[in-house]
Amino acid sequence: MKNTATPTALAGPDVQGISSVLAWACALLAVALPLAVAYHLLSTPVESLLLRAGVMLSASQTAALDITVGQKSLAALLGVLPVCCASYGLVCAMRCFSGFSQAEYFSVRTVKYLRGFAAGIFASVVAGVLSATLITVVLTSGAPAGQRAFAVGLGSNELLTLLFAGMVWQIAAVMARAVALAEENAQFV
């Protein structure tokens, strides 16, 4: 005997309503995050930015730093780059959730946006590692010889986020196959 799922048998959370809320949250974060990060990078003292990147300076080394407005602006631009990649991913997630809110669960468009989300998050992590390294170089480039810094950091958060992005990419690949099979089966009916 075959078990078939009917709409009443699938009662559970309001998928369309939750998807709509998630779409709005993604849209809000896609705009707010780059603005907040840019403000933070421009308003935070250079010493704090370097400390966060893993560069510890003594008081005399900090006093020797002569940071120009151009260096600070370039550091802020580099710092916003990873967030812009994440914002692209969030816009893709917003579009994916918008499709879900309209009961568009298995479509080529949904898969495309899910892959875009994974790609944006992956690019955000890679850009984050590179930009943090470049920020330390930019901010310490005016320091006396022997006091310049080059810091590279890759931690468990970055590795887990890369794994997450890869998993979402693979789920999208499986969904793409499901969509292709569904379209193929629909031609035979």
Tell me what pLDDT residue 8 has.
Answer: 47
Q: What's the pTM?
A: 0.81
Judge whether residue 185 has pLDDT over 70.
Answer: yes
Tell me what pLDDT residue 22 has.
Answer: 96
Domain that holds residue 148: 15-188
Greater model confidence, 5 or 125: 125
Judge whether residue 93 has pLDDT over 60.
Answer: yes
27 belongs to a structural domain: yes
> Cα–Cα distances in Å, from 95 out to 51, 80, 91, 164?
37, 23, 6, 19
Q: How many domains does the chain have?
A: 1
Q: Which of 174, 164, 182, 163 is nearest to 111 (CA)?
A: 174
9 belongs to a structural domain: no
pLDDT in tens, 53-91: 666 766 666 666 677 788 888 888 999 999 999 999 999
137 belongs to a structural domain: yes
